Chain A
């Protein structure tokens, strides 16, 4: 680091606009360094250099610019990039958007300090994720399998039970044959205190809290903090996983609020906007968060990410879900239609995908017939759904016997396979056996996607 006069205080704020502060006459300022900004009210806020010019710096202020003015505000440059102190003592604790404990407990004595921006994992150092995580949710385990080291977002919308589903996954997730439970890093961005309390209570109820680290930025906290809070959470996760050998599940909610904060800064900087006003670099920015999941060759721990986002107007082509889908390894999509039918979790499997499923299932991982059964479920359900549209036009009487069976299949599939209790933890065998039971309502010769040997071995015997 270059020498910076840490005691130098600048009182040369020229402009305050939204979350940004422009300071003049500065020397030796570096891009990305942390600044401390003190307002006339005496309160110190954290900020970061967004642009460093000769004699001028543009800062983003994380704790909001309320109470700052151009006359009494003083700015101090620290010469350091944004860092967080880390320790295993963080497990069981709750922090705010600046990394300060807010659970009434003592300060953390850090074991090590790390730059919250992290560094990209060298692709050569990565290990391919293929250990099956049993979430106990049939639509995920059976058809969109999650593996350790994957990033699998939940695409939801306002009013849908994504929080319940995320909590259920956090509670039930386990790797078969291993006792060790996941450590959970929970990062809240702009969610309501009610939602945050839901998670906190749920973690407490199930005893998960003591192996969890919570970072909370609630709806009434400064929006700009949402830019750094996921990075603090992920730096903590990297420490727990790659330094301490733990398997970490990171839940980020709600990424939509994160992107709104990103847009707010871009707008304040008068940048050229991309689609729907979001900045052109949003893809890269999101990638810097999502890509911090994975496994590293020779390291014991892993990071699995479940980001949650609410699709504005249920629109999957909106830039936030769209860019997310391009980075993550699949998506779990919740549907309002299923929710209205009273089905929990309302996972609409047609739109879902897990890109890493192929490698996490099959013999010795889940069960040899898993891939074929999943394909067959998809195909049969899609066909049944098509028939529903047809029935709407021509009526059920016009269908052939075969088609009627498919139509019926899609109903029982939703009611029995998709739907399950909020505390119902189905093993992968239960899930696959249930799938066979449902598939056997279809004519046997229609199960084309399943190879003969599995048909003989697993097809339920009548009577």
Chain B
């Protein structure tokens, strides 16, 4: 279709206005100026359009043309996405580098996936079968791990008229023909989908299974569910990014989409260089084989940053539709909100709180709402999920600011990072008294069935102990620790073990970086047994000084670092030693 060209009338940073744009749609993609910079229409008034441009606009001026594309910002979804690294609008950064060198120059374009690469297609349906959107017609092995399922795009249905036999095809080849109400339609191995529209599902379900992350404080105390939403707010340096990286590495999702939204270039490089080397404990293959990275660093154009979270969630939805459990990490949603604010400011919109646009809350809510566990489109009943974990970077670490507050109204898990903990190098610096998870009840039965009957009781007991410690600490601040009665001093000792040896976890230690659920459970069980034993001992009259000098505390502090293969045996020996040692103390006073 041919459209009339628009004419630029105003340029102010990433915002451009053009006239002669009648008939254009909001969110339509346009090419701006002589260099054809990619932009998106964000407002229309009579024949004037307001456009946000995804690239630096220096050198563009009034009088240059705006060319319409007739379509909204859309992604190409098909085999070849996994292992890629894109910018906020699905331009593949390695290809861009080949084309334009080490620095990203303007107006460079490249296909998001290689249309000439041959993929081995295996059909799974036959001619004559009635199909609807979401039905799988064949599979392609994408990388070492992922089976890419080729689907009928949403909203299309009909009878399979023709399907190719098993063999190698490119994305340009039609692999099937579908007889629809509007006639024959070619089906390719890829689909196009507009980023700002959620891909449809039949029904949303309540999450029930935990998203196991191997991080003790998260899994045991504030669990995330598959299909859930979580927020990690924290001032700078408290460890948002390290936590997000840990989740991207170890969360037991089948596909991980990592959105680096307005963050540091060097940190993205860390992910880029590290993920191909790290091995997924489940598949034994490099983590990159299940990961898609989006990198729109803080110095890349702000409008593309705004689009990047939508690009990320659309990629996640596409893999969910194949039946996979997908996890999406967005670091950081504050930068996304700031991108909205920046554009809103250039549009001279009436600002809401702290200069953020009044629609901030609804945009955040709509984004998180695209997460969830759902019954998928298609003839067969399939269930899959998207879990979304958003980092929030509150200015000055002040959680009362609008992005944090509006996020907390939506998400069900809150991992509160704490500057005071960070300053004493307690990592992960997640405050156990302020964090919460509303999925505790939902994941309880999984833990009880898969790990240990008494998991929930142990967890609550430990939580109670930490709560008690916080109360006692207030008194200690006033009178000093030695003024407390022995039983309470013993409580402090026990709480300290949980705090230092269970809650703290070293992300950079080769073993401690991932703690399997069973190990978490056993660690907690032994530590709580320690508590019971020392409480008993003190009650029987053992001096608190002797309790403080127990050797088994050294054992407890080493638990996290014991190999994930042999820990069960070593833990059992350890608990025998612990019982012996404390038993002897008790015997000592009884005699």
**Chain B binds chain A:** yes
Residues on A lying within 8 angstroms of B by beta carbon are 1-2, 27-33, 50-55, 81, 115, 117-129, 149-150, 242, 271-275, 279-281, 283-284, 287-288, 291-292, 294, 296-297, 299, 316-319, 322-323, 325-327, 329-331, 350-351, 353, 355-356, 358-359, 371, 375, 378-379, 382-383, 389-390, 393-394, 398-400, 445, 448
Partner of B266, one of A299, A356, A445: A356
Given known contacts A51-B11, A291-B298, A291-B299, is B59 in contact with A329 (CB within 8 Å)? no
Which residues in B have their C-beta under 8 angstroms from that of A297?
102
Which parts of B8-22 form the interface with A (CB within 8 Å)?
9-13
Given known contacts A2-B34, A30-B11, is B61 in contact with A394 (CB within 8 Å)? no
Contacting pair A150 B93 (CB below 8 A): no
B335 at the interface (CB under 8 A from A): yes
Contacting pair B264 A50 (CB below 8 A): no
For this complex, 5 residue pairs linking A to B, each with C-beta atoms less than 8 Å apart, are A28-B63, A31-B13, A123-B295, A287-B297, A322-B395
Contacting pair A400 B478 (CB below 8 A): no
Query: Which 5 interchain pairs have the tightest Cβ spacing?
Result: A317-B396, A32-B58, A287-B298, A30-B61, A291-B299
Which residues in A have their C-beta under 8 angstroms from that of B342?
280-281, 284
Contacting pair A126 B482 (CB below 8 A): no
Given known contacts A81-B58, A128-B273, A292-B299, is B264 in contact with A329 (CB within 8 Å)? yes
Smallest Cβ-Cβ distance to A383: which chain B residue: B424
Given known contacts A32-B59, A322-B395, is B355 in contact with A121 (CB within 8 Å)? no
Contacting pair B270 A128 (CB below 8 A): yes
Residues on B lying within 8 angstroms of A by beta carbon are 9-13, 34, 56-64, 85, 93-94, 96-97, 100-106, 235-237, 260, 262, 264-270, 272-273, 295, 297-300, 302, 335, 338, 341-342, 345, 348, 351, 354-355, 393, 395-398, 422-425, 476-483, 500, 508, 554, 557
Which residues in B have their C-beta under 8 angstroms from that of A273?
355
Which residues in B have their C-beta under 8 angstroms from that of A325?
235-237
Smallest Cβ-Cβ distance to A53: which chain B residue: B10
Contacting pair B10 A287 (CB below 8 A): no
| Whole-angstrom distance between the Cβ of B554 and the nearest chain A Cβ | 7
Which residues in B have their C-beta under 8 angstroms from that of A316?
396
Given known contacts A2-B64, A118-B103, is B338 in contact with A283 (CB within 8 Å)? yes
Contacting pair A123 B236 (CB below 8 A): no
Bound CA–CA A31/B61 (angstroms): 6
| Whole-angstrom distance between the Cβ of A394 and the nearest chain B Cβ | 4
Smallest Cβ-Cβ distance to A293: which chain B residue: B266
| Whole-angstrom distance between the Cβ of A131 and the nearest chain B Cβ | 13
Bound CA–CA A259/B59 (angstroms): 25
Contacting pair B237 A330 (CB below 8 A): yes
Bound CA–CA A371/B335 (angstroms): 32
Contacting pair A398 B395 (CB below 8 A): no
Which residues in A have their C-beta under 8 angstroms from that of B102?
121-122, 125, 242, 296-297, 299
Contacting pair B302 A149 (CB below 8 A): no
Contacting pair A31 B396 (CB below 8 A): no
| Whole-angstrom distance between the Cβ of B306 and the nearest chain A Cβ | 11
Contacting pair B482 A400 (CB below 8 A): yes
| Whole-angstrom distance between the Cβ of B250 and the nearest chain A Cβ | 17
Smallest Cβ-Cβ distance to A273: which chain B residue: B355
Given A274-B354, A445-B554; 17 other pairs, CB 8 A cutoff = A29-B61, A31-B57, A33-B61, A54-B9, A124-B96, A128-B270, A128-B273, A280-B345, A283-B298, A287-B299, A291-B298, A292-B299, A296-B102, A327-B264, A356-B266, A390-B477, A399-B480
Which residues in A have their C-beta under 8 angstroms from that of B345?
271-272, 279-281
Bound CA–CA A326/B395 (angstroms): 9
| Whole-angstrom distance between the Cβ of B322 and the nearest chain A Cβ | 27
Contacting pair B424 A379 (CB below 8 A): yes
Bound CA–CA A32/B59 (angstroms): 6
Which residues in A have their C-beta under 8 angstroms from that of B58?
30-33, 81, 115, 117
Given known contacts A53-B62, A283-B338, is B423 in contact with A123 (CB within 8 Å)? no
Which residues in B have their C-beta under 8 angstroms from that of A294?
265-266
Which residues in B have their C-beta under 8 angstroms from that of A378?
424-425
Which residues in B have their C-beta under 8 angstroms from that of A31?
11-13, 57-61
Which residues in B have their C-beta under 8 angstroms from that of A272?
345, 348, 351, 355
Smallest Cβ-Cβ distance to A1: which chain B residue: B59
Smallest Cβ-Cβ distance to A350: which chain B residue: B423
Which residues in B have their C-beta under 8 angstroms from that of A81?
58-59
| Whole-angstrom distance between the Cβ of A403 and the nearest chain B Cβ | 8
Which residues in B have their C-beta under 8 angstroms from that of A275?
354-355, 395
Which residues in B have their C-beta under 8 angstroms from that of A55?
62
Smallest Cβ-Cβ distance to B341: which chain A residue: A280
Which residues in B have their C-beta under 8 angstroms from that of A383?
424
| Whole-angstrom distance between the Cβ of B468 and the nearest chain A Cβ | 19
Partner of A382, one of B295, B298, B395, B423: B423
Which residues in A have their C-beta under 8 angstroms from that of B266?
126, 128-129, 149-150, 294, 329, 356
Contacting pair B482 A119 (CB below 8 A): no
| Whole-angstrom distance between the Cβ of A30 and the nearest chain B Cβ | 4
Which residues in B have their C-beta under 8 angstroms from that of A115?
58
Partner of A28, one of B13, B61, B94: B61
Contacting pair B93 A124 (CB below 8 A): yes
Smallest Cβ-Cβ distance to A448: which chain B residue: B557
Bound CA–CA A359/B271 (angstroms): 13
Smallest Cβ-Cβ distance to B271: which chain A residue: A123
Given known contacts A280-B355, A317-B398, is B11 in contact with A123 (CB within 8 Å)? no
| Whole-angstrom distance between the Cβ of B333 and the nearest chain A Cβ | 13
Partner of B93, one of A2, A27, A122, A331: A122
Bound CA–CA A356/B266 (angstroms): 9
| Whole-angstrom distance between the Cβ of B375 and the nearest chain A Cβ | 37
Smallest Cβ-Cβ distance to B7: which chain A residue: A54
Bound CA–CA A149/B267 (angstroms): 12
Given known contacts A81-B58, A117-B56, A317-B395, is B237 in contact with A382 (CB within 8 Å)? no
Contacting pair A120 B85 (CB below 8 A): no
Bound CA–CA A50/B11 (angstroms): 9
Contacting pair B425 A379 (CB below 8 A): yes
